[in-house]
Every structure is written in C-alpha cells, then in structure tokens.
Copies of this chain bind each other. A is one copy, B any other.
C-alpha cells in the first residue's frame, strides 16, 4: 500500500505525515513519529535535525535533479530553456507523489513558520539555479530573471497540481503557467517600457 520503501528514513517520513494529518503538525512529537515508525528517537535524529525537516527532505532531491537537467542542456540553449529543462524529470518524480504533496502543502499552508521555511528553501533553489546559469556564461541579471521565472512558474503549477486529481498533469501545468506568465508580461502596454524589442 505504501509508496515508501521500508528504509528507516522512508518509514519516518510516512509515520510523520500520517501523524501530522491525524493530529496536526504542532501536536505531533518526534517521539510519536519514531514510535509509529517502530524506531527510536535516536534513529530519528540520525536522519533529521528536527520534526520540520521531515517535510523538507524532498527539496534536496528536487534541487539535484533540476540542476542535473539544467547542466545537461546544450550550452547554446536560452537561459529559460535551460531552467525549463528541469521540469521533465521533476514531473516524473512527482507522478507518484500527489497525495503526499497535497498533504504536505496543507500542513505548510496552516503554519506560518513552515511557510517561511518553504519560502527560504525555494529561494535557495532559485539561487542555485541562478548560479548554475552564471557558470554557463549567462550574465548575472539574465540568470536571476530566468531563475525567478522558473520558480514563479513552478510555484503556480505546483499549487494547481495539488488542487487537481491527475498525478501526471504537472508538466502540462508548467507549460500553462509559463504561457500565462508570458501573457501577463506581453499584455503590458509597450508605452510603459523603454523599448519593446
């Protein structure tokens, strides 16, 4: 039934998510998580520095596969194309995780401290993406704009994905978000800009 492999880390994540769903994030203790997973508190702390980190473990994996895809694109790809390349493996990774992602999103939405943590993690991700673009010879500001655009599109698509039922929809929702962003920006009358291409 479970999507988590029977490793200690996976069991701890599964137990934590169950308990957060049942009794709320704040009311759940590390001791309870370890007990539910059939492990000791000491084992918990071998894998996670605190309860909060259980929710953010996936963000390292996300960053790793995003950067791998980015650096694998041809060097003449546009900055945004390099950023967008990450969404293919990310969509694949996400396919099996919709129920978890939805529950996680609900927990984070209900807790301002977790919202801040999520925000900081996403911003660190944007900075890593920017740095990877700069390393490819992209100018600093163009790299920053492409990285922020990628994160904005990710943010909107992710919120849509957890609010619908098709686990495979993520990549399509990314494209839709980028289209909409493009419309929002081109809908701006050229008169308010210095030049228009």
| A interface residues, Cβ below 8 angstroms from B | 78-81, 84, 116, 119-120, 123, 141-142, 144-146, 148-149, 152, 155-156, 160, 172, 175-189, 192-197
Contacts and interface: CB of A to CB of B under 8 A. Distances in A.
27 contacts: A78-B188, A78-B189, A79-B187, A80-B184, A80-B187, A81-B192, A116-B116, A120-B120, A141-B177, A145-B177, A145-B181, A145-B184, A148-B148, A148-B152, A148-B155, A149-B152, A149-B184, A149-B185, A152-B152, A175-B193, A175-B194, A178-B193, A179-B193, A179-B194, A179-B195, A181-B185, A182-B197
Contacts of A79: 184, 187
A196 B119 CA distance: 30
Chain A interface, >50% SS class: helix
Nearest to A120: B116
A141 B185 CA distance: 13
Contacts of A142: 180, 184
Closest 3 CB pairs of A and B: A78-B187, A148-B152, A175-B194
A186 to B, nearest CB: 7
A194 B182 contact: no
A185 B80 CA distance: 7
A145 B152 CA distance: 7
A192 B86 CA distance: 12
Nearest to A143: B184
A91 B178 CA distance: 29
A116 B195 CA distance: 34
A26 B183 CA distance: 45
A179 B190 CA distance: 10
Contacts of A160: 141
